[in-house]
Amino acid sequence: MNILKNILYLLPAAVLCVGCTAKEVPSTETGAGVHAEDQVDENLIVVGVSQVGAESDWRNAHTESIKSALTSENGFYLIFEDAQQKQENQIKAVRNFILQEVDYIVLAPIVETGWDAVLQEAKDAGIPVILDDRLADVDEDLYTCWLGTNAEKEGEDAGHWLEDYLKDSGRDQETVKMVTLQGTLGATAQIGRTNGFSKVLKEHDNWEMLEMMDGDFTQAKGQEVMEELLKKYEEIDVVICENDNMAFGAVDAIKAAGRTCGPEGEITIISFDAVRAAFDAMIAGDINVAFECNPLHGPKLAEILKTLSEGGKVDKIQYMEEKYFDMTMDLESIRETRAY
Ligand code: GYE
């Protein structure tokens, strides 16, 4: 049976459904976008996804994974909005999804705070919200479930890795001076990695955290912040970079300052994500270790949406599986198996 369903969308941002039949897709959006109407197969699950931006390799892999899972062949009609790292754009996107009467909203909240009002609006409209990647600090009944990474565990694992590394190199009794390039302040991945590492830091009187600075998860900001820290502190033994892209920026800053890093250098670099370029950096001897953060959420997300649309229940919190990689492993072979 073909029933026409009205969905409102902004043409340039929408991933169009080609060759579908049925549901009508009109638009009411104001602003610069082109308004259009489209027909959507009534059987497709209409999903509005509000993505943070394109600030890192991880983020691009995450976007790709979602786009390739939520296709019309798989039973979805995807409306994808890139917020360009601005919370106000995400709030606008969610409000548009509500107007468009999508079946589900998937939100990767840039930071944890500031979502109460808009998520209440989604709830009032009867549209389930799935939080993906990062959490929102809201009442639990404002979202159906959360799929993401255990960033606190990643941070703690990094601390334990450093313990072992210093011990193996006979430096566990020395004073170790470190700095942290933090991700976007207030983002789940930042909060978790900082807190997780801090737990281990507190257990070591000889570990000295000189300063933590916001590098916004980008390579450019990571480099800028590292340049500043190198000028400020003569001795830095360890740099904790809360994602790979900031680590790449930090490596550039360290080299430009005539300093060395990696397993053979004076500064140990710890990173998170383990994207393919991080394997290159580890193989080149620039980064010591990368803690995996798996961005391939698409298939799991599709499974959650299918289950919900069939009236099934899903776990409230779902973590992605993750490992870590360092120079003691066969990085060249592992690199070949990496999907991102
Ligand atoms: O580590 C970073 C990205 O939220 C887990 O965001 C994600 C983080 C990821 O920009 O590279």
pLDDT in tens, 201-245: 999 999 999 999 999 999 999 999 999 999 999 999 999 999 999
| Residue 282, CA distances (Å) to 182, 288, 326 in order | 20, 6, 7
The residue whose CB lies within 8 Å of the most ligand 1 atoms, and thus the one to mutate among 149, 217, 218, 248, is 217
- Could you report the per-residue pLDDT of 171-204, keeping only the tens digit for each? 999 999 999 999 999 999 999 999 999 999 999 9
| Pocket of ligand 1 contains residue 149 by CB under 6 Å | yes
Distance from Cα 295 to the centre of ligand 1, integer Å: 8
User: Ligand 1 atom 7: the closest Cα is on which residue?
Assistant: 189
| Pocket of ligand 1 contains residue 77 by CB under 6 Å | no
Distance from Cα 216 to the centre of ligand 1, integer Å: 10
As a whole number of angstroms, the distance between CA 58 and CA 132 comes to 14
| Pocket of ligand 1 contains residue 292 by CB under 6 Å | no
| Pocket of ligand 1 contains residue 59 by CB under 6 Å | yes
- Could you report the per-residue pLDDT of 272-289, keeping only the tens digit for each? 999 999 999 999 999 999
User: Ligand 1 atom 5: the closest Cα is on which residue?
Assistant: 189
As a whole number of angstroms, the distance between CA 304 and CA 293 comes to 20
**Ligand 1 atom closest to 188 (CA):** 4
As a whole number of angstroms, the distance between CA 314 and CA 305 comes to 9
Strands (E), the chain: 24-25, 38-39, 45-51, 76-82, 104-107, 129-133, 145-148, 176-182, 207-214, 238-241, 268-273, 289-292, 317-319, 324-326
The residue whose CB lies within 8 Å of the most ligand 1 atoms, and thus the one to mutate among 50, 55, 56, 90, is 56
Handedness of CA 187, 76, 91, 136 (dihedral sign): negative
| Residue 173, CA distances (Å) to 163, 198, 199, 264 in order | 11, 18, 19, 20
Distance from Cα 160 to the centre of ligand 1, integer Å: 21
**Mean model confidence pLDDT for the chain:** 91
As a whole number of angstroms, the distance between CA 239 and CA 56 comes to 19
Q: C-alpha angle with apex 330: 159 to 241, nearest 5 degrees?
A: 30
| Pocket of ligand 1 contains residue 55 by CB under 6 Å | yes
Distance from Cα 243 to the centre of ligand 1, integer Å: 7
Q: Which of 90, 121, 98, 100 is nearest to 27 (CA)?
A: 100
> In which region does residue 101 sit, left (phi positive, over 0), alpha (psi from -120 to 50) or beta (all else)?
left
**Ligand 1 atom closest to 58 (CA):** 11
pTM of the model: 0.90
CA 77 to chain centre: 23
Position 131 pLDDT exceeds 70: yes
Amino acid letter, residue 337 = T
| Pocket of ligand 1 contains residue 297 by CB under 6 Å | no
79 strand-pairing partners: 14, 48
| Pocket of ligand 1 contains residue 261 by CB under 6 Å | no
**pLDDT over 70, % of the chain:** 89
- pLDDT, position 11: 42
Confidence of residue 31 (pLDDT cuts 50, 70, 90): very low
Position 6 pLDDT exceeds 60: no
